[in-house]
Amino acid sequence: MKKKKSGVLSRAGQRRQREKEGRRDAILKAAMALFASEGYRQASMERIADEAEVSIGTVYINFKSKEEILAHLMDEIAYEIRTIVGETFRASEDPYEGMKKSGIAFMTEFCQKYPEKIIILYRESVGKSPLLEAHREKMHKQLISDLQGAVETLKEKGGFCFRSGLSSEIIATCIGGMYERIAYQFIIWQDRTDELDEASEEVVDFLIGGIDSLRKK
């Protein structure tokens, strides 16, 4: 008789594992599509299960509540953004250039490609419940904190100081807000993806100008 080695999975076990993950992904994918197209509230667990070709029960094996699905989606999206933006930023020698490139990457590599994700991030995750609101707050703080890190890098490499101790936080916060509304304006509310490249260029210049104006003279 075969013995199971701990930590090692039999072929059948591997297949089950694959299927399990496939199911989980299918649920997440279905939920994302539904949340973005019909709205979090309108997307019922039944619809999500149907769309994922899974029973409601299975959804509840994988996620303990509807809220949790959204929370998970938010985390996933935030992680992707932090990855793409962070990598782009770090890939440049010049932090100014990194700032610009990462902003453009966010707009054109992320927002433009995955409109559902920004709809979830900026619209469907807003004001849903105290729990999700706490989650959203944490997520945005992380994003802002990343941004603030980049701003600090800029400052250090540039060898200058900001007007106050608050400045880098203000800058990071402003940048976050700018990107959000630009995404609304060019993707969520209107489909002007063709203008997004130009818009992104101007946005990054705007923010560079903003940053410079908070330098200590």
Partner DNA sequence: TATGAATGAGAATTCATTCAT
Partner DNA sequence: AATGAATGAATTCTCATTCAT
Which residues sit at the interface with a copy of itself, rule CB under 8 A? 1, 23, 39-42, 53-55, 58, 123-130, 133, 137, 140-141, 144, 163-164, 166-167, 169-171, 173-174, 176-182, 184-185, 189, 195, 198-199, 202-203, 205-214
How many CB atoms within 10 Å of residue 2? 5
Q: How far apart, in whole angstroms, are the C-alpha atoms of residue 205 and residue 18?
A: 46
Strand partners, 162: 215
Q: Which residue number, 88 or 167, has a Cβ lying nearer to a copy of itself?
A: 167
- Can you name the residues that pair with 215 across neighbouring β-strands? 162
Our finding on whether 5 is near DNA (CB under 7 A) is no
Q: How far is the CB of 38 from a copy of itself (least distance, A)?
A: 9
Single-letter code of the amino acid located at 200: S
Q: Which stretch binds DNA (CB under 7 A): 17-25, 133-141, 173-181, 187-195?
A: 17-25
Closest approach of Cβ 19 to DNA, in Å?
6
Residue number with CB closer to a copy of itself (52 or 105): 52
Instruction: Report yes or no: 155 and 162 within 8 Å, Cβ to Cβ.
Output: yes
Does 9 engage in binding with DNA (CB under 7 A)?
Answer: no
Instruction: Collapse the DSSP code of 215 into the 3-class scheme (helix H, G, I; strand E, B; otherwise coil) and give the result.
Output: strand
Between 23 and 29, CB nearer to a copy of itself: 23
- In the chain, the N- to C-terminal Cα span, in Å, equals 78
Q: Which stretch binds DNA (CB under 7 A): 15-23, 100-108, 166-174, 189-197?
A: 15-23
Nearer Cβ to DNA, position 11 or 217? 11
> Which of positions 41-60 make contact with DNA (CB under 7 A)?
41-46, 54-58, 60
Integer Cα distance of 152 and 169 in angstroms: 9
| Rounded Cα distance, 152 and 149, in Å | 5
Alpha helical stretches, state H, 8-129 = 11-38, 45-51, 56-62, 66-91, 95-104, 115-119
16 binds, among DNA, a copy of itself, none (CB under 5 to 8 A by kind): DNA
